[in-house]
Structure 1
Amino acid sequence: MKAVLLTVLLLLGAQLFDGFAAATAPEFPLKASENRRYLVDQRGTPFFYQADTPWLLFTKLTETEAKDYMARRKEQGFTALQVMLTGFLGMTNRVGELPFAGTPPEQDFAQPNEAFFAHVDRVAAEAQRQGILLAIAPAWSGCCGEGWAGRDKQQRPAPLNVNGPEKARELGRWLGQRYGKFANVMWILGGDNDPDNARTEIRALGLGLKETAPHQLITYHAASSHSSTDVWPADEPWLDVSMVYTYFRGFNKAWNKSQPDIYEVSHAEFARIPVRPFFLGESTYEGEHGVWGSALQARKQAWWCVLGGGCGHAYGSPNWNMPSNWRETLELPGANSLKHLRALLGSKPWWKLLPDVNNTVAVEGRGPYATNDYAVTALANDGSFALSYLPSKRALVIDLTKLSGARVAAAWFNPRTGETTRIGEFADKKRHAFEPHADGDWVLVLEASR
């Protein structure tokens, strides 16, 4: 069958921005879906987790600046922000307030600083007004002595260890009481580290949060190449959602020089029992690590996780540290291109997608596995549509018999621009090779029709 090529421009641009801004706000709090594969709001509407990582938003921005930051990210299609509640150990907010009484590394959890947390309250309320989920890390563990668990850079015990399990649990109760009123909050325990340097204290913190805010979800941010369920028991009572965190094979700037690719860890997490929703919580940041921090890499990461069985992803940039040029950094090309990912998924029941782990849909042309150039595919559980992400131009062979319906309509979606190029409709359902007409990364969209 000869494919008919017709370029159709999606009405994105200003209309897309308006659409995200005017979209019906989620009815928080979120919860796991019935099959525990994705997140839903109180109406049962699937929630796509597209997060930014302005980790130091609470400590480095004023309320007005935070409001502007959140509004722009919402326009760009982001639905969540991952932030640290208390920053790194010893860090104050913009007006010089520490979160607790004491001179760091001493921080007494029993004596929270009202002025510090009042600022957090106001920013959280603004996020709720804008319909943005806040995934808050209450006490960032830290990889390298900068955090609240283990030991600091002078090898002194960190606050979680000094305060101990009882105070950690009481802190969890206090945070749950204070922030339980914000339905748009979920919690991230840990932070760039596995829990063994303060496992008892971190568990106590999680249990305390669950006592007073049982409606708020909790996940865990482990060390790179590990997921939440790698480092906590399968039946951990407070762990609602799993987070995967990795870079890619060949990335040599992490503690673990053997970093599997995102689709590898996503496929593994999808197979875990008991089932939990999972998302990519951290990977390569756009604008960091030279050519590795490209817009293309930001898109790869997102598509690899979502088509690998995840319910969303987190994007990162130098704005994790809120540099003075944070407004300009908001406009990096990778961040702006992710609105197209959300637009395409928002046009389909993305929550039906199942990863093509056994390569029964995409049978040839995927590229070498365990490399940074692998094509991934997911098929809806009813066979109604399939999506394939190709990081670079190639011929991908699809078994069209896996889709339901008498015919299959095919199109190329450009994840850089949001443009769709129609290929044609196929009545002869058999194996067919699809190759984009130009270089770059592409999404193959296949839809069953009568």
Structure 2
Amino acid sequence: MHVLRLALCVCLLASLSLPGDATGAENARFPLRIAPGGLHLEDQAGQPFLITGDSAWSMIADLSASEAQSYVADRKARGFNTLLVSLIEHEFARNAPANIDGVAPFLEPGNFTKPNDPYFAAAERMLDIALKADMLVLLAPAYLGANGGPQGWYGEVAAAGPEALQAYGRYVGKRFARYPNVIWVQGGDYDPPEKRLVEALAAGIEAGNPGVLQTVHGDRDSATHLYWKDAGWLKLDTVYTYGDVAAAALARHRSGPRRPFFLIESRYENEHGVGASEIRKIAYGALLSGASGQVYGNNPVWHFGGPGLYDAPVGWEQALASEGAQSIGHLARFFERLDWWRLRPADPTFAVRATGLPTATAISALADDGTFAVVYLYDALSVEIDAHGLAAADLAFEWYDPSTGALSRSGPLDRNAGIHRLQAPSTQNASGSSDWLLLVRGGASRR
């Protein structure tokens, strides 16, 4: 065993708080499609697309056009490329179900056969803003609500029946077909006992916009690929858990069908005591365990000025610059420098052991061609890795502070020298947390 102590030579990659640090990634050429191999999305030019999302459920219903412009510009500048949005809002907006101007989505309350054109025209203006910013929109046509309750539309959906829902799906599918940046999200915090209702809505959307990608937001800890195993419309799977995200993503990676999946929801910042360090553990845990993206959430940003579920410490405008949002921006820049789509969850023999607090955790992934590896440490002071898992001979390792964007380049690593114990730069990173990111790669993969 070789013990290497790293000198922390920090270079700040980006500003800590201002949103002027957009990534250098090229704009996506929509619509997205499933890449060859079936494990991630790519654009029309074949460029892999890593979902780096923000939960903006109430954007269409609760924001004015100028507020939406400001919000989307902020998220774009911070490195986000995806927004999760409800097309119609049942509860979490100031005038719900009407929008900020008091325009209701239906001519008769809850009547899916009578959509109100002015409401959906206003929604189009919101999607225009997102499209101009080159943002993917995960769009929920009718969020069902937790346990099918009043937070969502399940009561009205059940009363409407399949025929009305298919007509509504056809209406929104056709109306929004001109937006190549939309992927539809069925469900919403619920696995409905009457699947035919969602099936009808999805079929209507497909009829209105043939070939459009659709996914689902299921019940928490639901295996969407099993609950909807016969759903031909389901092209992308999702993971949704408040538990161990890395374990849930790894279970889906190992057991599910060969199609992309992403983390659509976990615990939000400023809810359930979640701060920025937990946000990072959630996000990196998903991406290093097989997920092809992750969606972050912040209270109050997800509901903006509308009612939420928990008290918010600040208003949504101020919350845009939260530590969690900054951390996701650093994550986006980190993965942009890598062929991230090659990553596969590593065998336990690669990251052999993490040492530190009793909760010390190491989550690792290896490129399928052996050119690089990424390890996320939480509550750990060091990690033992077996460099034999990498193919390159000229290995080097770098420590990254995920809370700030600071990078320490540490020098060479001998692939043939057995197991190495790599020691974190400090017991705490710049934010006072004990999480670190380790990158090991060969010279040919550096850029």
Q: TM-score, normalised by structure 1?
A: 0.89
Counterpart among 301, 318, 330 of residue 340 in structure 1: 330
Counterpart among 198, 202, 205 of residue 209 in structure 1: 205
Q: 1:142 to 1:272 in 2, by over 3 A?
A: same
1:385 aligns to 2:364 (yes or no): no
1:88 aligns to 2:90 (yes or no): yes
Deviation at 1:394?
2.5
1:160 aligns to 2:175 (yes or no): no
Report % sequence identity.
33
Counterpart among 188, 191, 198 of residue 188 in structure 2: 191
Separation (CA, whole Å) in 2 of partners of 1:46 and 1:352: 10
Structure 1 runs (4+) deviating above 4 angstroms are 1-4, 14-19, 147-150
Deviation at 1:11?
3.2
Deviation at 1:66?
0.6
Deviation at 1:212?
2.3
Structure 1 residues 326-361: Cα deviation after superposition (integer angstroms, max 9, x where no partner) = 1001111111121111111000100000001x3121
Separation (CA, whole Å) in 1 of partners of 2:220 and 2:6: 45
Aligned partner letter, 2:195? R
Counterpart among 213, 222, 240 of residue 235 in structure 2: 240
Separation (CA, whole Å) in 2 of partners of 1:134 and 1:405: 38
Q: TM-score, normalised by structure 2?
A: 0.89
Separation (CA, whole Å) in 2 of partners of 1:162 and 1:15: 47
1:436 aligns to 2:424 (yes or no): yes
Counterpart among 70, 76, 79 of residue 72 in structure 2: 70
Separation (CA, whole Å) in 2 of partners of 1:270 and 1:76: 29
1:307 aligns to 2:288 (yes or no): yes
> Contact conserved, 1:81 with 1:134, CA < 8 A, in 2?
yes
Q: C-alpha root-mean-square deviation of aligned residues, in Å?
A: 2.2
Separation (CA, whole Å) in 2 of partners of 1:230 and 1:140: 20
1:173 aligns to 2:177 (yes or no): no
Deviation at 1:16?
9.8
SS of corresponding position for 1:426: strand
1:277 aligns to 2:283 (yes or no): no
In structure 2, the gaps of 5 or more residues are 307-314, 429-433
SS of corresponding position for 2:381: coil
Separation (CA, whole Å) in 1 of partners of 2:158 and 2:67: 34
SS of corresponding position for 1:271: helix
Separation (CA, whole Å) in 1 of partners of 2:13 and 2:224: 39
SS of corresponding position for 1:205: helix
Matches within 5 A, 1:138-157: 138-144=141-147, 145-150=149-154
SS of corresponding position for 1:365: strand
Separation (CA, whole Å) in 2 of partners of 1:52 and 1:444: 25
Separation (CA, whole Å) in 1 of partners of 2:18 and 2:39: 27
Counterpart among 218, 224, 231 of residue 222 in structure 1: 218
> Contact conserved, 1:412 with 1:421, CA < 8 A, in 2?
yes
SS of corresponding position for 2:365: strand
Deviation at 1:8?
3.9
> Contact conserved, 1:70 with 1:127, CA < 8 A, in 2?
yes
Aligned partner letter, 1:108? N
Aligned partner letter, 2:71? Y
> Contact conserved, 1:58 with 1:120, CA < 8 A, in 2?
yes
In structure 1, the gaps of 5 or more residues are 151-157, 249-260
> Contact conserved, 1:29 with 1:215, CA < 8 A, in 2?
no
Return 338-347 or 141-150, whichever deviates more. 141-150
Counterpart among 122, 127, 132 of residue 130 in structure 2: 127
Separation (CA, whole Å) in 2 of partners of 1:211 and 1:367: 55
Q: 1:281 to 1:350 in 2, by over 3 A?
A: same
> Contact conserved, 1:8 with 1:421, CA < 8 A, in 2?
yes
Residue matched to 1:28: 30
